A and B are shown apart, each in its own frame.
Chain A
Amino acid sequence: MGHKIAITGMGIISSVGNNVEENFISLTTGRHGISEIQMFESRHAGHIKTGEIKQSNEELVQHLQLNEDNNVTRTSLLGMIAAKEAVENAGISDINAFRTGLISSTSVGGMDITEKYFYNYEDFPEKQKYIDAHDAGNSSLAIADYLGLKGMVSTISTACSSAANAIMMGAKLIKNGVLDRVIVGGTDSLSKFTLNGFNTLMILTDSYNTPFDQNRKGLNLGEAAAFLVLESDEVVKKEDKKVLAYLSGYGNANDAHHQTASSENGQGAYLAMQQALKVSGIDKEEINYINVHGTATPNNDLSEGIAMIRIFGEGNVPEFSSTKAFTGHTLAAAAGIEAVYSILAIQHGIIFPNLNFKTPMEEFNLVPVTELRKKNINHVLSNSFGFGGNCSTLIFSKP
């Protein structure tokens, strides 16, 4: 890569915490966020557990001090909380002082409201304002407005790899001098739509997800938002910014195997990791920790495991863990929250445990880190894969 991209701020909200600090405490004390569904109506409440954030839209609106006539849906509300924390963490007071952009990502957009009034909007004139907020792009426009940002705003939707691609595109815009500063990440709320979609695919566990376990039964869905602030070297120097970590590599490839399933040899994942390593110029032996995609579906963990062995070699796969047992799979936001976790791992020299693991998979000899482990971490590789064959890998490095 031409040069590494500085990360100067981060923000997050997930089922294990409303900010970076709370997330860190949960990750280090083993407190997961998987629970019964309470915040939206569903037949599956009481049967299927999710990583739900226990704040209503009304509470989020109040917390953000939005006007009463706002038409902000849950995806954007979560995004606003995380983006605001990231901007404050980066010490930005005038958001438009430099050429600043927002590259966000989402898979559901305003679906949480659409699914409530889809057939009967006609009967609820006061709710019709939400019609304008259904499209995915609207969520980023709303977050940009909330931040007072005027400039390049874009939204990426590549299913469960979305936020990784938002981070990648942001890095490219800085690297090429198109922007000086860019807020990147993703946000997705839970919805009946997604819950039922994954349920019909029969890849939801009826209990707690167990990534990389022989007896894994599927994923828990979750909701979250997370954003990073990327800044050019010029801005970092000029403003004497503290760099939290560097984004040193990224890779994007397509599995081109099936609309939803991953290939047996993990070709897309393999190519994404290979590309990210190449871009970073870092030797694979230097990777100290992998934050795996690890959704705990039979298909993903097998395919990803094989791809990791293909890249690193049998017996040489770095220590790895999936944090999805903590948060559930937060879809478009997943790579965003796992970017924050990767940076926390570097900052604190800690590998977060892969909860709920008992039995190694019989197909290969890969055992995740299951206890909190202290270790100096210079480089973290983070994977995210999605429907449509979309595979992305990011590499974060110590400043």
Chain B
Amino acid sequence: MSSVYINGVSCISVQDTLAEDFFGQFKPENSVPIVKAIEPAYKEFIPAAMIRRMSKTVKMSSVASHYALKEAGIEKPDAIIVGTGMGCSQDSEKFLKNVIDNQEEFLTPTYFIQSTHNTVAGQIALALQCHAYNFTYVNTSSALEFSLLDAKLQLTDDEAENILVGSTDEQTERTMELYQLRHIIKKTEHFPVDFLTSTTKGVLWGEGSSFFVIGKNKTENSYAQIRDIQITNKLEQQETESFIEAFLVKNNFSLTDIDAVILGFSGDQESDTYYKTAINLFPESALLYYKHLSGEYNTASGFSTFMACHILKNQQIPEIMMINSIKKNAIKNVLLYNHLLGNDHSLVLLEKV
């Protein structure tokens, strides 16, 4: 498959990733179960009357998509593709509470209308008056990767020139409680956690929105090329190495061609073993992790993809992301590996422009 380019990026996350100099301002978190996204001043982007009505995921996406498009110099993309694990869970939860609390009576439709998973993509289309292809992937952990793959296929098929791709997830109070009940989020007594050497079950939960403009052509602003994407629902521990190796071979890459590997260490002892196995393949590469900065969530790879773009463009790796101490003179190829508690494994290969 031929390459496509990432020409605009924007990320709202637990870190202040909208700030100009965010590289130097990272504040890792390992002592609380839930971390929240730093929200921008929405009133600069969204009419005041709408701010109250819109859910967090819609607002974050509205701002992040705005910046990504602006950076790429695109007003109306040829397609809008959004990935989200939990969709509009705040409005879903509000409507569900109303249904239960009021015994199915005296309901108003607003929360229901905004509860569907495709609300984000639909709202962006509405705001841009964009009639083009509009898609929403809702995979447990590979929604962004499928969105990128879809975009890549359309660009290489000459169906589009510039595509807006995003990933977004928001927290809700009750879902967080239920995740704690289920120990998807670590027990309180298991914090603080060392993300790389954790011996306990569960993760630290975050949220955020990342948007990208993927183009057929290289521009002055290009961050990276997307070489290839590989996705699988399941993987046995012992298949991890062959999964990665086969992907690289398919792209005519050897293991030593990979300058940096960004791994999704989440602090969940059992499922992090996949990443530990992957590390063995790359003794000469810079190894990075990020969920101590972003938290885990269904589309956490939006944060790492955003970081990979900046790393490739700036040729600089934030010290705080380093697992080992291998420094590369030049960072040409970056491999991202992510999954969520052992489900939906994805590999994304990005290349310097």
Task: Report which A residues bind B (CB closer than 8 A).
Answer: 42-44, 102, 106-107, 109, 111, 114-115, 118-119, 121-122, 128, 131-132, 134-138, 140-141, 144-145, 149-159, 165, 169, 172-173, 176, 178, 192-193, 196-197, 199-201, 252-260, 267-268, 271, 386-390
Contact status of A107 and B122, CB under 8 A, knowing A158-B136, A254-B132:
no
Across-interface contacts of A178 in B (CB, < 8 A): 149, 153
Across-interface contacts of B140 in A (CB, < 8 A): 135, 137-138, 141
Are A169 and B96 in contact (CB-based, < 8 A)? Answer: no
Contact status of A153 and B86, CB under 8 A, knowing A43-B103, A128-B181, A252-B135:
no
The residue that B134 contacts in the complex, of A42, A252, A260, with Cβ under 8 A, is: A252
The residue that B133 contacts in the complex, of A132, A155, A157, A253, with Cβ under 8 A, is: A253
Across-interface contacts of B271 in A (CB, < 8 A): none
Across-interface contacts of B146 in A (CB, < 8 A): 154
A394 to B74 Cα, complex, angstroms: 30
- 8 A-B residue pairings within 8 Å (CB atoms): A135-B298, A150-B232, A172-B150, A192-B99, A193-B99, A253-B131, A254-B133, A387-B122
Are B86 and A135 in contact (CB-based, < 8 A)? Answer: yes
Tell whether B30 is near chain A: CB-to-CB under 8 Å. Answer: no
Number of interface residues of B (CB under 8 A): 66
CB distance from B77 to the nearest CB of A (A): 11
Are A132 and B107 in contact (CB-based, < 8 A)? Answer: no
Across-interface contacts of B142 in A (CB, < 8 A): 154
User: For the complex, would chain B's binding face be called helix, strand, loop or mixed by DSSP majority?
Assistant: mixed
Closest 5 A/B residue pairs (Cβ): A388-B122, A197-B112, A137-B140, A157-B117, A153-B233
Across-interface contacts of B174 in A (CB, < 8 A): 118
Are B112 and A137 in contact (CB-based, < 8 A)? Answer: no
Contact status of A169 and B116, CB under 8 A, knowing A121-B178, A141-B343, A156-B138:
no
Are B344 and A159 in contact (CB-based, < 8 A)? Answer: no
Across-interface contacts of B139 in A (CB, < 8 A): 137, 140, 153-155
CB distance from B301 to the nearest CB of A (A): 14
Are B107 and A159 in contact (CB-based, < 8 A)? Answer: no
Query: Which chain B residue has the least Cβ–Cβ distance from A152?
Result: B231
Chain B positions 96-143 with a Cβ under 8 Å from a chain A Cβ: 96-97, 99-100, 103-105, 107-109, 112-119, 121-123, 125-126, 128-143
Are B233 and A150 in contact (CB-based, < 8 A)? Answer: yes
Chain B positions 163-203 with a Cβ under 8 Å from a chain A Cβ: 174-175, 178-179, 181-182, 184
Contact status of A388 and B233, CB under 8 A, knowing A197-B112, A200-B109, A201-B113:
no
A110 to B122 Cα, complex, angstroms: 23
CB distance from A217 to the nearest CB of B (A): 17
Are A196 and B233 in contact (CB-based, < 8 A)? Answer: no
Across-interface contacts of B182 in A (CB, < 8 A): 128, 131-132
Task: Report which B residues bind A (CB closer than 8 A).
Answer: 1, 80, 85-87, 92, 95-97, 99-100, 103-105, 107-109, 112-119, 121-123, 125-126, 128-143, 146, 149-150, 153, 156-157, 174-175, 178-179, 181-182, 184, 231-234, 298, 343-344
Across-interface contacts of B149 in A (CB, < 8 A): 178
A178 to B96 Cα, complex, angstroms: 39
Contact status of A115 and B80, CB under 8 A, knowing A154-B146, A254-B134, A388-B119:
no
CB distance from B76 to the nearest CB of A (A): 10
Across-interface contacts of A137 in B (CB, < 8 A): 85, 138-141, 143, 298, 344
Query: Which chain B residue has the least Cβ–Cβ distance from A105?
Result: B138
Query: Which chain A residue has the least Cβ–Cβ distance from B133?
Result: A252
Query: Most B CB atoms within 10 A — which of A136, A137, A140?
Result: A137
Query: Which chain B residue has the least Cβ–Cβ distance from A158?
Result: B118
Are A121 and B231 in contact (CB-based, < 8 A)? Answer: no
List 6 extra interface pairs beyond A137-B344, A155-B139, A156-B138, CB under 8 A.
A111-B96, A118-B174, A141-B233, A152-B232, A388-B125, A389-B122
A141 to B178 Cα, complex, angstroms: 20
The residue that B107 contacts in the complex, of A196, A257, A260, with Cβ under 8 A, is: A196
A80 to B142 Cα, complex, angstroms: 21
A388 to B134 Cα, complex, angstroms: 9
Across-interface contacts of A199 in B (CB, < 8 A): 107
Across-interface contacts of A155 in B (CB, < 8 A): 137-139
Across-interface contacts of A114 in B (CB, < 8 A): 96
The residue that A267 contacts in the complex, of B128, B131, B133, with Cβ under 8 A, is: B131
CB distance from A237 to the nearest CB of B (A): 23
CB distance from B150 to the nearest CB of A (A): 7
Contact status of A259 and B131, CB under 8 A, knowing A158-B118, A390-B118:
no
Contact status of A259 and B233, CB under 8 A, knowing A157-B136, A254-B134:
no
